[in-house]
Amino acid sequence: MNNLEVKNNISLVNLILPKDSLDKVSKELQKAGAKGIFQVSARGSILNEGGFLAKMFPPPAPEQCLVQVLVPESQNERISNIAIKAGRLDRVGSGAIFSIPCSEAQHSSSFPLTDGEGEGGNSTEITMEAICCICEKGVAEDIAQAALAAGAPGPTVTFGEGGGIRDKIPVLRMTKGPEKEFVWCVVDRSESSDVFTSMARAGRITEPGRGFMYSIPVSNGLINVSSTVASSSHGASMEQIISALDEVKGGKDWRSTVETKSTSLSTSFLKDLVGLYCVVPRDHYSDVYDAILDAGAPGVSTNFGVMADQASAGEDTCNEEWAIVYTSLAPASVKNVMEKVSTKIEALGINRFAFYTLPIPKALTYLGG
């Protein structure tokens, strides 16, 4: 790989925001020096606490946006605090923010990356996990409802494309569309196993062609995504009551006193993988998609969005369409795949792109047999 700048001690800051607070938070982040703010359209998932008619005719899923930005570890707390203040994310139902330590980031010189040194070593204690389930279009709602029932606060659904080795065979490419739905949620580590299992069961992920799901360590987070629609006869929603009890009890341990059945899966998990992510302008995503598969990756997924960045002084902010193309690999394969994809990108003359890697301690899909 030529002319790529290597950055260590980088974090991926993620925000889940209601649509009406997106512009304010994005502008405040830009003022604070954040660059490469990637915005993906999404929808929320809610449990309805209303009566019979409310459940028969539920309200539409709330519009949301998933925002991601790479920041040096030395800037993580500052950038996060600005986002929390701008979005009032400390209030119930206002949204969420969480940070994921990256193993490494490499980018071209013209890629918009937040300035700052990566001091700190990503040594923050891991207390939460982000869970992502990639499934066929139309299945996400069942998976999200299962996550809610298992205690996950407000799962978020994004949309994109995905495929694997089968897509290289033209006849088979016609039998299954590339459109995918992605269900995201963030939970405490103590709750992650039950939520992961509930989502896997709802999506039947261990069956052929059903999808792929994985978990990622989260170093810190503030999760206040709305997950219920309350009946107007009550002064507070159930999530507000639970939040108040958490504060009174000094944590969430009191919830585990309720006796529950084991939800373990009788299957084999994929362990200690690495997520390889490539960020490129949308016009070039299909070339990167194919290059990742040609380099030997078993599968690839893509999310589309816009990159919100401050234009020159006196000009309006320019939102450009970009794509995040990613795959999950064994650690020994990451360097080889990254080098082959980078060579392809440079041969195409793409001068703005970045790679980053995230640890994936647990993943699940159909393994055959």
Between CA 240 and CA 252 the distance in angstroms is 14
Percent of the chain at pLDDT > 70 equals: 76
Residue 93: which region, alpha, beta or left (left: phi > 0; alpha: psi -120 to 50)? left
Looking at residue 115, its pLDDT comes to: 85
Tell me: pLDDT of 243 over 90: no
Tell me: pLDDT of 146 over 90: yes
Query: How does DSSP classify residue 28?
Result: H
**Residue ranges making up the domain that contains 324:** 5-365
Place of tokens 């980053």: 356
Single-letter residue type at 71: V
Question: Which residue would you say has higher pLDDT here, 113 or 239?
Answer: 113
Looking at residue 48, its pLDDT comes to: 59
pLDDT digits (tens, 9 = 90+) for 276-310: 999 999 999 999 999 999 999 999 999 999 998 74
Closest CA to 184 of 152, 136, 229, 161: 152
Looking at residue 307, its pLDDT comes to: 92
Strands 47-48, 228-229: pairing kind: parallel
Q: Which of 76-85, 223-232, 253-262 has the lowest mean pLDDT?
A: 253-262
Tell me: pLDDT of 110 over 60: yes
Contact (CB, 8 A) for 218 and 100: yes
Q: Average pLDDT of 172-187?
A: 75
Between CA 90 and CA 65 the distance in angstroms is 18
Q: Which of 174-183, 184-193, 205-214, 255-264 has the lowest mean pLDDT?
A: 255-264
Confidence grade of residue 80 (pLDDT, cut at 50, 70, 90): very high
φ, ψ for residue 238, nearest 5 deg: -60, -35
Tell me: pLDDT of 248 over 90: no
Between CA 238 and CA 49 the distance in angstroms is 8
Tell me: pLDDT of 322 over 60: yes
Looking at residue 355, its pLDDT comes to: 97
Tell me: pLDDT of 327 over 90: yes
Degrees to nearest 5, angle at CA 162 with 161 and 167: 120
pLDDT digits (tens, 9 = 90+) for 23-67: 999 999 999 999 999 999 999 887 655 544 444 445 556 899 999
Tell me: pLDDT of 199 over 70: yes
Tell me: pLDDT of 231 over 50: no
Query: How does DSSP classify residue 339?
Result: H
Q: Average pLDDT of 220-239?
A: 60
Confidence grade of residue 249 (pLDDT, cut at 50, 70, 90): low
- What integer best gives the mean pLDDT of the chain? 83
Tell me: pLDDT of 228 over 90: no
Looking at residue 50, its pLDDT comes to: 52
Looking at residue 193, its pLDDT comes to: 92
φ, ψ for residue 7, nearest 5 deg: -125, 130
Percent of the chain at pLDDT > 90 equals: 59
| DSSP code per residue over 4-45 | PEEE-SEEEEEEEEEHHHHHHHHHHHHHTT---EEEEEEEE-
Between CA 217 and CA 274 the distance in angstroms is 12
Q: In whole angstroms, how far apart are CA 12 and each of 97, 255, 339? A: 11, 30, 22
Tokens of residue 115, six digits: 């300035």
How many structural domains are present in the chain?
A: 1
Confidence grade of residue 174 (pLDDT, cut at 50, 70, 90): very low
Between CA 30 and CA 130 the distance in angstroms is 25
Looking at residue 154, its pLDDT comes to: 83
With a CB cutoff of 8 Å and minimum separation 6, the contacts of 93 are: 224, 225, 226, 237, 239
Place of tokens 């299962």: 146
Tokens of residue 114, six digits: 């937040």
Confidence grade of residue 151 (pLDDT, cut at 50, 70, 90): confident
Place of tokens 């033209």: 170
Tokens of residue 128, six digits: 């939460």
Q: Average pLDDT of 121-135?
A: 81
Closest CA to 80 of 192, 240, 219: 219
